[in-house]
Each structure stands twice: as structure tokens, then as C-alpha cells.
């Protein structure tokens, strides 16, 4: 079963049919590099078959841990940065009411899932601690190494809070570590302290890890049906496995992106018309940016939350530099709807009264798309039928496999991130981390 469609009809004035067919030989090579494991970065492609070959025993432990957290905690604090939190946050926002995390405890069906360790801002951390208050809480620390600065600082703070509240033994029962299977400082600490542990697989990079314990535990705690999430991803694995461009929408997306890139469209905007999709855009930006932004190449990933952003940078999209193209994520069936009231009011809405807001929202998306296309902005549409776990799983896999193909088409390694280490080295040097003394001196001189 497939719940996702890919519409390229609005590309007709930008890309000819023959251009797509001419990409087939290159796509076939990229497919072989990805599927046969002969491309650079192949050691990080275990996500390809993760939806069908995941660890079933660990999956059951994740479900059991989620139930325990739901039974003894009002809050789960997820400590992680980048791929260690973006997928879970995107999924929880996608699957829940927009204001779900603002509900009072008595109105909630599941614990409040909050995120820490994704910045070094003290005001954010103090606000989060204030929000938890005296409520019962647990912590899921997610880090492959355990030494990444942002989550390491946050974990120290929350570990201390847990020990102050529950004692050392009680704290151990409320800390869940998702980390490397065999090595690293967090793995060592988790073994010594007896935390329940889950694995960040060696062959799955952080930005591809939402369908591992990294994303599954926080999603399950927040009430998400992770069995359906994996089923949707498995449907994607099956649907997007053919190297034939005419049969594979994910490969079509990768090919069209590269055609547009070669024509000078160097920035892609992922567009939504529902605030519950905002964080999905943040997850997508890491997936695209870390996979493709290297060797002086790559499409710059950005996002737009419409119709809100039409009243901010919408003018630029319409009339600015013609280096933009848009990919719209759209949901066919709204989760809920509102009927516009009928009333005697001089507000100019008489022609809309009695209509559904979802109709107005979809019509706004269509009108905006036509205006942008007329203004020289290519548009593609990724549409899912419903906003549920199955559709989300399939959409996650769609973008993951597409970026793998897209990276190989552009002649880069889609599965490393060498540039991420540059800022870390400088930060360690300026903070005086042992082993960076020589760098510390040179950086301080530059400052």
C-alpha cells in the first residue's frame, strides 16, 4: 500500500520530458552505487533496509520502556542534538495536536516530550527546568560518543536533578541511554550505572536514525504508533526500490532536483501549509544539508511555513533572484476542520462563510503555487493521503533514499559530514579542552 504521490506537472515550463529520460543512465549508476554498496560512504547505508530488517527484540524493549515512562513520568526530557533529536521532534509534532505540549497534565494522554541539549543557551535550559517543575520526569540521553558538548552539558544538569529528586538509585531507573553498542564515554557510563540501553547502529548515520531507537523511543513515549511508522517505511522501501525512473517517484525527485540545480536553481524551499509540519522541515534541512553540502557543491535547503511566511519573505520568492525552487508537502485529508461561521459582518468574507478552512487552505496553496510558477519558481508536490504514522514512515523513507541517489548524482559522498567537525575543533580549542592547546593559542591570537 502506498499513501504518497509525487506531482511534477508544474515543472513543464522548466524541465523538458527528454531531460528526465536523459538522466536514466546516471540514475542507474547511482542506484548501483547505493544498492550494491560500491559507492563512497557505503558503510553508512544500513538505513536502506532498516524498515524490514530492524532488531525486533530491541523494538519490543523500546515499546516496554515507553510504557514504563508513560506510567511513572509526566515528562520525558530527550537530550540530543542534530539527528539525535530532529526526527523525534518532527514526528511528535506531526502526529499530535499543535499545542499538545501545552496541555495540562490532567488533559494529557501521554507524557510531555521536551528536548534539551540542542543548544548551549542557559536561558532555554532554565526555562525547561522551570516548565518541568516538581513533576515526575525521565531522561533519554542520545549520543553516539557521549562527548558532544551540547548534550553532554545538558545531561550533566538533568542527571544531577534526577539524583537530587530521586536519589542515585532512583535516578538510574529513569535514565535511558541511546548510544554506541560497544564503545564511547556514554556507553561506558551506561554500563557502569546500569541504565537501560538502546543502540545507535554503526551503519546508520545520525540524520538517517529516526527509524532506530534514536527516534522510536521518544515517538512511542509521545503516543506514536511505532509499528505503523515502521510499516509505512517498509512500504516506502518496497515502492522506491526500482532503478527505472518511470517507476520510482523518489528517484524522480532526486533527478529533477539535480536537473534544476544544473540550471542554476541552487536553493530548495520545503513548503508546508500546516504548523504541525514545521519541524519536519527542520529534520529535512539536516538530511539534505549534511548529505549534499560539501566539496563546494550542493542545493541549499531552506523551508517555508505558509501561508504565514507569504507575509514575510513571500515577496522575495515571487520577485527575488531566480535561484529558488519549491517542494510542497501537502496532506489530502485534514486531521480536523473548521467551518467558517455565517454572520452579518462587513469583513469581506461573505463569499467564504459556510466553507471549510481546509478548502481555503488548499486553494491558497494552489493559487500560491501558480503565482510562484508564473514568477519563475519551479514547483514539485509530495502529497500524503493522511497525517498519520504510516504516511510519515513512507515520507521519511522517500526523502532518505532520494538524497542518497541525489548525492551520488552530484558526485559527492552523501553519508559523511566532514565540515561538522570544523566548528567542534575550534570550540574545543577556545574552551581549553585537553589536547587542543596548540589550536587554542592560534585561535585566541586570531580573535
User: How confident is the model over 109-152, as pLDDT tens digits?
Assistant: 999 999 999 999 999 999 999 999 999 999 999 998 888 899 99
393 pLDDT band (50/70/90 cuts)?
very high
Q: How far from 100 is each of 85, 105, 111, 161, 262, CA to CA, in Å? A: 18, 10, 10, 25, 42
Task: Please report where in the chains the cell 520530458 appears, as a residue.
Answer: 17
CA distance 83 to 283: 8
Alpha carbon dihedral 232, 237, 239, 243, in 10-degree steps, equals: 160
The predicted model gives 83-88 an average pLDDT of 94
% of residues, the chain, pLDDT over 70: 99
| 437 has pLDDT over 90 | no
> Which residues belong to the active site?
290, 424
Rounded average pLDDT over 158-187: 96
Percent of the chain predicted with pLDDT > 90 = 87
Asked if the model's pLDDT at residue 340 lies above 70, the reply is yes
Arithmetic mean of pLDDT over the chain = 94
Does the pLDDT at position 171 exceed 80? yes
CA 237 to the chain's CA centroid: 18
Region 286-312 average pLDDT? 96
Locate the domains of the chain by residue range.
3-40+228-411, 45-226
CATH for the stretch 3-40+228-411: 3.40.50.10490
Same topology for domains 3-40+228-411 and 45-226, yes or no?
yes
Short-list 196, 200, 191, 197, CA closest to 145: 200
Q: CA-to-CA distance for 213 and 50, rounded, in angstroms?
A: 12
Is the per-residue pLDDT at 346 higher than 90? no
Q: Judge contact between 258 and 406, C-beta under 8 A.
A: yes
What pLDDT score does 391 carry?
A: 97
What is the mean pLDDT of the segment spanning 234-254?
Answer: 97
Q: What is the pLDDT of residue 2?
A: 66
The pLDDT confidence band at residue 421, using thresholds 50, 70 and 90, is low
The number of residues in the chain equals 447
- Answer with the residue of higher pLDDT: 147 or 223: 223
Where residue 172 falls among pLDDT bands split at 50, 70, 90? very high
- pLDDT on residue 438: 74
Average pLDDT (7-12) is 96
Decide if pLDDT at 345 tops 90: no
Q: What is the pTM for the complete model shown?
A: 0.95
Give the model's pLDDT for residue 417.
85
Look at residues 308, 447, 410, 416 and name the one whose alpha carbon lies nearest to residue 30.
410
The answer to whether domain 45-226 has CATH 3.40.50.10490 is yes
Q: How far is CA 23 from CA 8, 16, 29, 246, 288, in A?
A: 16, 12, 10, 11, 20
pLDDT of residue 147: 83
Compute φ and ψ for 307, nearest 5 degrees: -85, 0
Q: Look at residue 1 in the predicted model and tell me its pLDDT.
A: 64
Amino acid at each position: 500500500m502506498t499513501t504518497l504521490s509525487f506531482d511534477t506537472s508544474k515543472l513543464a515550463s522548466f524541465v523538458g520530458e527528454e531531460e528526465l529520460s536523459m538522466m536514466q543512465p546516471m540514475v542507474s549508476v547511482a542506484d548501483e552505487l547505493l544498492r550494491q554498496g560500491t559507492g563512497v560512504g557505503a558503510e553508512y547505508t544500513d538505513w536502506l533496509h532498516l524498515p524490514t530488517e530492524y532488531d525486533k527484540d530491541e523494538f519490543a524493549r523500546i515499546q516496554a520502556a515507553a510504557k514504563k515512562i508513560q506510567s511513572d513520568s509526566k515528562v520525558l526530557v530527550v537530550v540530543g542534538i542534530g539527528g539525535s533529536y530532529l526526527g523525534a521532534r518532527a514526528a511528535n509534532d506531526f502526529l499530535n495536536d499543535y499545542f499538545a505540549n501545552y496541555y495540562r497534565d490532567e488533559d494529557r494522554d501521554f507524557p510531555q516530550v521536551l528536548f534539551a541539549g540542542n543548544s548551549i543557551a542557559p536561558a532555554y535550559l532554565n526555562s525547561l527546568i522551570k516548565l518541568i517543575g516538581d513533576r515526575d520526569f525521565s531522561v533519554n540521553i542520545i549520543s553516539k560518543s557521549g562527548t558532544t558538548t551540547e548534550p553532554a552539558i545538558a545531561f550533566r544538569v538533568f542527571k544531577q536533578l534526577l539524583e537530587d529528586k530521586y536519589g542515585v538509585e532512583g535516578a538510574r531507573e529513569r535514565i535511558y541511554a541511546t548510544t554506541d553498542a560497544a564503545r564511547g564515554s556514554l556507553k561506558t557510563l551506561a554500563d557502569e550505572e546500569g541504565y537501560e540501553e538502546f543502540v545507535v547502529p554503526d551503519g546508520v548515520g545520525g540524520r538517517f536514525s529516526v527509524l532506530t531507537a534514536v527516534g522510536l523511543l521518544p515517538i512511542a513515549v509521545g503516543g506514536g504508533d511505532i509499528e505503523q511508522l515502521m510499516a509505512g517505511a517498509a512500504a516506502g522501501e518496497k515502492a522506491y526500490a526500482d532503478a527505472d525512473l518511470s517507476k520510482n517517484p523518489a528517484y524522480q525527485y532526486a533527478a529533477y532536483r539535480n536537473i534544476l540545480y544544473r540550471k542554476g536553481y541552487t536553493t530548495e524551499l520545503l513548503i508546508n501549509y500546516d504548523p504541525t509540519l514545521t519541524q519536519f522541515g527542520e529534520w529535512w534541512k539536516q538530511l539534505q544539508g549534511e548529505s549534499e553540502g560539501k566539496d563546494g557543491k550542493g542545493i541549499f535547503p531552506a523551508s517555508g511555513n505558509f501561508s504565514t511566511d507569504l507575509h514575510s519573505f513571500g515577496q522575495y520568492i515571487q520577485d527575488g533572484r531566480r535561484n529558488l525552487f519549491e517542494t510542497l508537502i501537502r496532506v489530502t485529508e485534514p486531521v480536523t476542520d473548521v467551518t467558517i461561521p455565517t454572520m452579518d459582518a462587513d469583513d469581506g468574507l461573505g463569499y467564504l462563510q459556510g466553507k471549510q478552512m481546509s478548502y481555503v487552505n488548499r486553494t491558497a496553496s494552489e493559487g500560491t503555487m501558480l503565482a510562484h510558477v508564473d514568477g519563475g519558481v519551479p514547483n514539485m508536490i509530495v502529497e500524503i493521503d493522511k497525517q498519520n504514522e504510516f504516511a510519515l514512515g513512507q515520507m521519511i523513507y522517500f526523502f532518505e533514499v532520494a538524497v542518497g541517489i541525489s548525492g551520488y548524482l552530484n558526485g559527492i559522498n552523501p553519508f559523511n559530514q566532514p565540515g561538522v567537525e570544523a566548528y567542534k575543533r575550534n570550540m574545543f580549542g577556545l574552551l581549553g579542552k585537553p589536547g587542543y592547546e596548540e589550536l587554542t593559542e592560534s585561535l585566541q591570537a586570531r580573535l
